[in-house]
C-alpha cells in the first residue's frame, strides 16, 4: 500500500551519473541517469524492442542507447533512433517519469502523469533552501515494508535498546507514560501536535545522562565531564507518508540556548517493493559551522544507528513474512500513540487515491 500521486526521492544527486543506475521504486524498475547536459532522467527500465534493461545502456549526449541493438531514447522516453533504419517504427517509447531536483535530492513522480505539475516535493524540507545547511547524504537499503520504518521512527523508546552505544539515551524509554500528559516544567516530557498531513513532536529530558554520541560531542566541544547530567531536547516532524526531520539539541542545565549542540537529520523513505525500502537521509551539525570533522562525526554516528535499526527492521520483516502488516493484531504499548497517528495519516493519503 503506497500512495502514488506524490514525489518520492529517487536518488541522491551523486548517484545520478552518465552511467545509468537500475533501481526499483514502488515496484517498478527504472533506469536513472543524467544526460551530458546534466538533466536527470528516469525511464522505464525495459527497451520495448527486446526488453533489455535500458540501465545496461550508454548515455550518449541527451539520449540513452540500448546495449542490445542500439536503439536510442530521449529523456521523454521516445525512441528517436534505430541505427541503420531510416524509418523509425511508429510510436515507440518507454514510460518517462517526471523528475526534479530539490532540497539536494532527486525526486520522482510515479503517479498519474498529469498530476506532477500540481504538487511539489515535500514542503517540510523547504527550510534547507533558506539557510546554510552543510550536510552529508546517506543511503541504506532496508529489506522491510516502509511502514515498519515509520513505526521505528515514531516510537523513540527503542533507542536505549537498539542504540546503546550511539544515540540511545536511557531516559527516553521513560517518556512512554508521559505522552498523553505533557508535563512542562518536569524533568521529562513528550508532547505532540497533529496537523493535516503530519505531526510535530517535542521530547524534553532535563538533567539526564546522555548517550555516547551526544555526550562525546559535548565533552569534546563544550568541555563537559563524562557522566555529567545535561538537558536534551528532541524536536521531530513527520510528514505523510515517508518524510521525517529530527532535531536534537544538548545543553547544560539552565544554559543559554546558543551554548547547546544542535544537529538536523532529514529522512526520506522510498518504497522499493511492498517489503523493501530505500532509506535516504541527510545529516547536518549546526554547532561547529564549517568543521568537516564534526560533520563527519555526526554522519558516522547517525549511519551507525540507522544500520542498527536496519538489523532490527529486517529481522522483524522476516518474522512477519510476506503478509500484510495489518493482518496481525499486535499488542500496543503506550509509546505507540505517535505511531498510530502516523499510520492513520499514511492510510488517509493512500485511501484518498
- Report the C-alpha gap between 295 and 300 in whole angstroms: 9
Whole-number Å distance between alpha carbons of 148 and 313 = 7
Q: Which residue's C-alpha cell is 534505430?
A: 82
Shortest CB 115 distance to a copy of itself, Å: 27
Measured from the CB atom, the residue of 23 and 158 that comes closer to a copy of itself is 158
Q: Give the position of cell 515517508.
A: 242
CB of 119 to a copy of itself, least distance (A): 30
Let me know: does 91 contact 84? Beta carbons within 8 Å: no
In this complex, which beta carbon is closest to a copy of itself, that of residue 292 or of residue 311?
A: 311
Q: How far is the CB of 158 from a copy of itself (least distance, A)?
A: 5
Within 13 Å of residue 32, how many CA atoms lie on the same side as its CB? 23
Tell me the chain's radius of gyration from C-alpha atoms.
23
Instruction: Report residue 216 as a C-alpha cell.
Output: 562525546
> Measuring CA to CA, which residue among 227, 206, 208 is closest to residue 216?
227
**Minimal distance in Å, beta carbon 251 to a copy of itself?**
23
Closer by beta carbon to a copy of itself, 85 or else 259: 85
Cβ-proximal residues to 306 (8 Å cutoff; 6+ apart), any chain: 138, 140, 279, 281
Find out whether 33 and 64 touch, Cβ atoms under 8 Å.
yes
Q: Which is nearer to a copy of itself, 5 or 273 (CB)?
A: 273
C-beta atoms surrounding 250 within 10 Å: 27
Closest distance of CB 214 from a copy of itself, Å: 19
Binding site for a copy of itself (CB under 8 A): 29, 45-46, 48-53, 56, 65-71, 79, 82-87, 89, 92, 148, 151, 155, 157-158, 160-162, 173-177, 312, 315-316, 319-320, 328, 330-335
Min dist CB 13 to a copy of itself, Å, is: 27
Q: How far is CA 62 from CA 162, 176, 200, in A?
A: 46, 54, 43
State the minimum distance, in angstroms, from the CB of residue 48 to a copy of itself.
Answer: 4
Considering the complex, state which of residue 50 and residue 344 has its C-beta at the smaller distance from a copy of itself: 50
| Cα–Cα distance, 256 to 52 (Å, whole number) | 61
Amino acid at each position: 500500500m503506497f500512495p502514488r500521486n506524490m514525489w518520492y526521492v529517487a536518488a541522491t544527486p551523486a548517484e545520478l551519473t552518465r552511467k545509468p543506475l537500475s533501481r526499483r521504486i514502488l515496484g517498478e524498475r527504472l533506469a536513472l541517469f543524467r544526460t551530458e547536459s546534466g538533466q536527470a532522467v528516469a525511464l522505464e527500465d525495459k527497451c520495448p524492442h527486446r526488453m533489455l534493461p535500458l540501465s545496461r545502456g550508454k548515455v550518449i549526449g541527451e539520449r540513452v542507447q540500448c546495449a542490445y541493438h542500439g536503439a536510442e531514447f530521449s529523456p521523454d522516453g521516445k525512441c528517436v533512433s534505430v541505427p541503420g533504419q531510416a524509418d523509425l517504427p511508429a510510436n515507440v517509447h518507454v514510460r518517462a517519469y517526471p523528475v526534479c531536483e530539490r532540497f539536494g535530492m532527486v525526486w520522482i513522480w510515479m503517479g498519474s502523469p498529469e498530476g506532477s505539475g500540481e504538487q511539489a516535493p515535500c514542503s517540510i524540507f523547504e527550510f534547507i533552501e533558506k539557510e546554510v545547511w552543510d550536510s552529508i547524504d546517506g543511503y541504506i537499503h532496508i529489506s522491510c515494508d516502509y511502514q515498519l520504518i515509520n513505526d521505528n521512527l515514531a516510537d523513540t523508546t527503542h533507542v536505549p535498546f537498539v542504540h546503546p552505544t550511539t544515540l540511545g539515551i536511557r531516559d527516553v524509554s521513560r517518556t512512554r507514560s508521559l505522552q498523553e500528559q505533557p508535563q512542562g516544567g518536569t524533568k521529562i516530557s513528550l508532547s505532540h501536535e497533529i496537523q493535516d498531513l503530519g505531526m510535530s513532536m517535542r521530547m524534553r529530558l532535563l538533567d539526564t545522562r546522555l548517550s555516547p554520541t551526544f555526550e562525546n560531542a559535548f565533552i569534546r566541544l563544550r568541555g563537559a565531564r563524562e557522566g555529567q547530567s545535561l538537558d536534551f531536547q528532541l524536536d521531530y516532524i513527520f510528514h505523510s507518508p515517508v518524510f521525517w526531520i529530527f532535531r536534537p539539541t544538548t545543553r547544560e542545565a539552565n544554559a543559554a540556548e546558543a551554548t547547546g549542540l544542535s544537529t538536523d537529520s532529514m529522512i526520506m523513505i522510498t518504497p522499493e517493493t511492498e517489503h523493501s525500502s530505500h532509506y535516504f537521509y541527510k545529516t547536518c551539525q549546526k554547532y561547529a559551522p564549517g568543521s568537516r570533522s564534526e560533520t563527519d562525526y555526526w554522519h558516522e554516528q547517525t549511519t551507525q544507528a540507522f544500520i542498527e535499526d536496519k538489523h532490527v527492521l529486517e529481522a522483524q520483516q522476516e518474522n512477519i513474512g510476506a503478509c500484510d502488516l495489518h493482518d496481525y493484531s499486535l499488542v500496543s504499548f503506550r509509546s505507540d500513540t505517535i505511531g498510530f497517528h502516523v499510520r492513520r495519516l499514511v492510510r488517509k493519503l493512500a485511501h484518498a487515491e
